[in-house]
């Protein structure tokens, strides 16, 4: 958590230690959204430049097809619980097979 705060987000230690956990989580969420928005903007800018150079829709199509943005969202609590439950069930089946 500290390496992310001091490195990627760029907080100073005095700023980081002055934040509550909820405040840091909101700051982190906002930072992630900012990075995603910048990535989308850069993708579109690149597509426009390639289109100007290549033309006929090929430049933009190439950029959009080859530069896929991450579509995975963060997991909510219920999804994490389900994944942990599935993992425990798999481990239990594995133990039963080994002992069985």
Q: Provide the pLDDT for residue 30.
A: 92
Give φ, ψ of 2 to 5 degrees. Answer: -65, -40
**Residue partners of 69: CB distance under 8 A and separation at least 6:** 36, 39, 40, 43
Question: CA 59 to CA 50: how far, in whole Å?
Answer: 5
Mean pLDDT in residue range 2-19: 87
In a domain, 12, yes or no: yes
Model pTM score: 0.55
Q: Identify whether 38 is part of a domain.
A: yes
φ/ψ of 9, rounded to 5, equals -80, -35
- The mean pLDDT of the chain is 82
Does a structural domain hold residue 100? no
Residue 88: inside a domain, yes or no? no
CB atoms within 10 A of CB 5: 20
87, part of any domain? no
Domain count, the chain: 1
Give the pLDDT mean for 26-54.
Answer: 88
Q: Tell me what pLDDT residue 56 has.
A: 79
pLDDT at 72 over 60: no
- For residue 67, give its domain range: 2-74
Instruction: Examine residue 92 and state whether it is found in any structural domain, yes or no.
Output: no
- 18 DSSP 8-state letter: T
**Percent of the chain, pLDDT > 70?**
91
Residue 48 resides in a domain: yes
């Amino acid at each position: 958590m500290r390496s992310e705060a001091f490195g990627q987000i760029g907080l100073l230690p005095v700023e980081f230690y002055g934040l509550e956990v909820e405040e840091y989580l909101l700051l982190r969420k906002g930072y992630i959204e900012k990075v995603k928005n910048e990535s989308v903007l850069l993708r579109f800018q690149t597509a426009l430049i390639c289109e100007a150079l290549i033309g006929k829709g090929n430049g933009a199509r190439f950029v959009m097809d080859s530069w896929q943005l991450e579509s995975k969202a963060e997991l909510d609590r219920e999804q994490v619980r389900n994944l942990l439950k599935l993992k425990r069930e798999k481990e239990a089946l594995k133990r039963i097979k080994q002992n069985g």
